[in-house]
A and B are shown apart, each in its own frame.
Chain A
């Protein structure tokens, strides 16, 4: 059993999600009695393999479990994949997977490009590091979930405005449900994003006081881009709240959620390709490639 679990690789669950995505994409094209079973089978198998992979890493890594950029991206993908499976079970006829699975696969791809080395840790900063990472994870998942709901809202609204029956072709949830999810996700993203940023500042201060780990300067690219993203998330949530009683609220909210995802994706890409002192051991801090999201 141990050999089997240790043999699971990123390719195993990424390929399963890809097959599930192909099944989802083929749903409006033709009917098949077999496809539903294949879709659920591959999505569930992918999620199981994903879970076992993360479990194995958490159990075998010498550092704090799942504390590398690689793990962080895979955790975000795992949360979204879990949400997708839940939606698939609750509303098997809607094609949410067509929108969620590309994000899941994108996060798995980002993980592959990221460092597997754990972030530097000391006993004094472990708790703040975990809080910082968890809030950022929650914010990122909320942004992705909100953007998926927002995109689906725009497509559904376009079809309804063109008087095309929503029962034809692509099956999506109702505008009411999508607007609700998108709005809630915007609020969650703003709160958790802000909490993640503040906890990052606290973590930095603790590091500075303990002198065990190198601190991240204010002008570090990670600090700047995270500040920008968090500021945007707060502004987007505020705009959404301000427009709550206007008929345009849902449409504006949908567009805002897409901009949020765009900003977050750009920030992550910058994180993967740029240089930083965030999340790297002191000796390599100046030149190492940025590992943090």
Chain B
């Protein structure tokens, strides 16, 4: 075994236990230092996010990674949790399954929100911390590098992370951006103080919106909200004028009747000078009369419209899963091929050394028998010997490489050892 994995995610570990299991950056550094002292020569990367805590251990030959049960105990000990409580909830994997799992995690395929991109940054951070803590070596280095490459491929070759999934992000980044090119010259009107207004405004601010007016039935609440959101308070009595001046409206009141009726909007429309208006009606029940959406130049979206778009995006992501998994599979095979080939290195080294020693001895004998050879001629003969050795060794080494792609080439290694009498 070269790679070992132990970990729990939102699927297997209840939230209460996940909270106790989670590591802060300092705690993770301490745990890595403890691992280094307890298991010298082994490698470890600790990935801890709000949805998962995972240990990726690696080692080879004399320093194989600790068995899964030792890793579980180690994890339990680090977080002060009974190992017996944790053990049944944690997954254990080894070698190729570890590679597949990490590649899937880094690509967002194992995330609660399929294809979410934050996990990639968290994987990078976990690896960087292991490097700083001196618990990452050539095996985990290669593994995490390959994981980042896989995630990059999944992101660029599939549409997995392309569509947005939250209503505020779809409302702004898809629909509002479909109408407006820029937001820094637009007036945003917030009607009401619902939770989703804050999130939507955050996306609008990121898109460049600067001029924001908050209107609420309670003037004090509008003032407080405006101060908190770095916006300008407006008076509810001026709603018609505010609607006339706005380019984008986000409405989230708790009113049981439409706040903006078709008649009220018709009065505001006269002052709009034909400018297009995007209305994101995120209230339930709706704040805007649906008939307003049929007016020319008005793009009205209710929470159901946006929800349907989110669902379509979610399905679109699901459709990308086979393509993403194929990339993970391809990269995992490639990595395992390299890993298996890496295990043949000592045999190859001994094989080359044996040929080199025999060649050198023969050359010495030849040069003694032909003392008249000058240095240039000797160099030529030496090069010819080296080329001959390289050519003779190429087929067996190539066979070894090819065999490594399918799995550890134990049979071929044994044959080479016996054929060429290679001692351990």
Given A33-B153, A167-B162, A176-B180, are A160 and B175 neighbors across the interface (CB < 8 Å)?
yes
Question: Is A284's CB within 8 Å of the partner chain B?
Answer: no
A264 to chain B, nearest CB (A): 27
Enumerate chain A residues within 8 angstroms of B133, measured Cβ to Cβ.
none
A–B complex contacts, Cβ < 8 Å, 7 sampled: A33-B156, A167-B164, A168-B163, A168-B312, A172-B178, A175-B179, A248-B297
Question: Is B101's CB within 8 Å of the partner chain A?
Answer: no
Given A33-B153, A163-B301, A167-B164, are A174 and B296 neighbors across the interface (CB < 8 Å)?
no
Question: Is A249's CB within 8 Å of the partner chain B?
Answer: yes
Q: Is the CB of B274 within 8 A of A244?
A: yes
Total interface residues on A, CB under 8 Å, equals 29
Q: Which residues does A use to contact B, with CB under 8 Å?
A: 31-33, 156, 159-161, 163-168, 172-177, 180, 243-251
Contacts A33-B156, A167-B162, A174-B178 known; 9 new A-B pairs at CB < 8 A: A31-B323, A165-B312, A166-B174, A166-B178, A175-B276, A176-B179, A247-B272, A247-B298, A249-B274
A184 to chain B, nearest CB (A): 14
The 8 Å CB contact of A245, one of B163, B274, B276, B295, is B274
120-135 of chain B: CB within 8 A of chain A: none
Enumerate chain A residues within 8 angstroms of B178, measured Cβ to Cβ.
156, 159-160, 165-167, 172, 174-175
Q: Which residues does B use to contact A, with CB under 8 Å?
A: 153, 156-159, 162-164, 170, 173-175, 177-182, 269, 272-276, 295-299, 301, 305, 308-309, 312-313, 316, 320, 323
B203 to chain A, nearest CB (A): 14
CA distance A165 to B298 in the complex (A): 16
B274 to chain A, nearest CB (A): 5
Enumerate chain A residues within 8 angstroms of B177, measured Cβ to Cβ.
166, 174
A55 to chain B, nearest CB (A): 35
Which residue from chain B places its CB closest to the CB of A163 in the assembled complex? Answer: B305
Enumerate chain B residues within 8 angstroms of A32, measured Cβ to Cβ.
157
CA distance A156 to B156 in the complex (A): 25
CA distance A164 to B180 in the complex (A): 16
Enumerate chain A residues within 8 angstroms of B164, measured Cβ to Cβ.
167
The 8 Å CB contact of B276, one of A159, A166, A250, is A250
B301 to chain A, nearest CB (A): 6
Enumerate chain B residues within 8 angstroms of A177, measured Cβ to Cβ.
181
Question: Which residue, A32, A160, A176, has most C-beta atoms of chain B within 10 A?
Answer: A176
Q: Is the CB of A166 within 8 A of B157?
A: no
B187 to chain A, nearest CB (A): 14
Q: Is the CB of A165 within 8 A of B323?
A: no
A209 to chain B, nearest CB (A): 49
Question: Which residue, A172, A173, A249, has most C-beta atoms of chain B within 10 A?
Answer: A249
Enumerate chain B residues within 8 angstroms of A165, measured Cβ to Cβ.
163, 170, 174-175, 178, 309, 312-313
